[in-house]
Amino acid sequence: MIPLSSPFGPKQEGKDRNDAGPETTILYDDILFPVLNHPFDLLVNYPWPMKSHQAMMRAGIYPAMDANCSRVRLYKLGQRRAGRGKLDVGIYKNRHWSVRVPLVPPIPMEDHSRWRYLISADGQGASWRLAKLLSINSVVLKARSDSIEYYYRSLEEVRERPGPWNHAAHLGVLS
């Protein structure tokens, strides 16, 4: 993957960050390919007052990932007292030989809209789920990343934690 100095991509002299770079996503031998498996015209909406106040993530763990990757750390944080009641983190697929976590069923993407906060954590590279999470009317919590997707330059970095995260366990464990 391409290491970046910013989660939004390299800033080019004299250009707005949204104008820099190709509109592509999957890196394969130095070529970024567009995301073709997502119907971007399908937005998912769920009434805000009815949403769970927890932050949710469902993810898989794969052999090429570090045994202490951000997904595993988030799962462990959700099991501790500081994360209980605030994080709903589950691992639905575990192919890593040294990570031992109980598996939970995956949650269909349209049902992700039932949570106010959705967590996106990279896996072996940039997570393809982020593009889908952005089409849901929930706040997406994303850690900084060395991987790149074509739309990262359009993301806004928030310095203050949203909603209940102002006084909750700091998610800086991802940085």
Q: Under CATH, which architecture does the 17-37+52-170 domain have?
A: 3-Layer(aba) Sandwich (3.40)
- Spans of the chain below 70 pLDDT: 1-43, 150, 159-175
- With tokens 């469902």, the residue in question is 58
Give the model's pLDDT for residue 132: 83
pLDDT digits (tens, 9 = 90+) for 95-143: 999 999 999 999 998 899 999 999 998 887 777 788 888 888 899 998 7
Whether pTM exceeds 0.85 = no
Structural domain boundaries of the chain? 17-37+52-170
Q: 32 forms bridges with which residues in the sheet?
A: 27
Yes or no: say if 9 and 148 are a contact pair by the CB < 8 Å rule: yes
Give the model's pLDDT for residue 60: 94
Pairing of strands 26-28, 31-33: antiparallel
Residue in 122, 85, 129 with CA at minimum distance from that of residue 107: 129
Residue in 136, 57, 64 with CA at minimum distance from that of residue 92: 57
Cα angle vertex 31, ends 119, 1, to 5°?
Answer: 45
Give the model's pLDDT for residue 133: 87
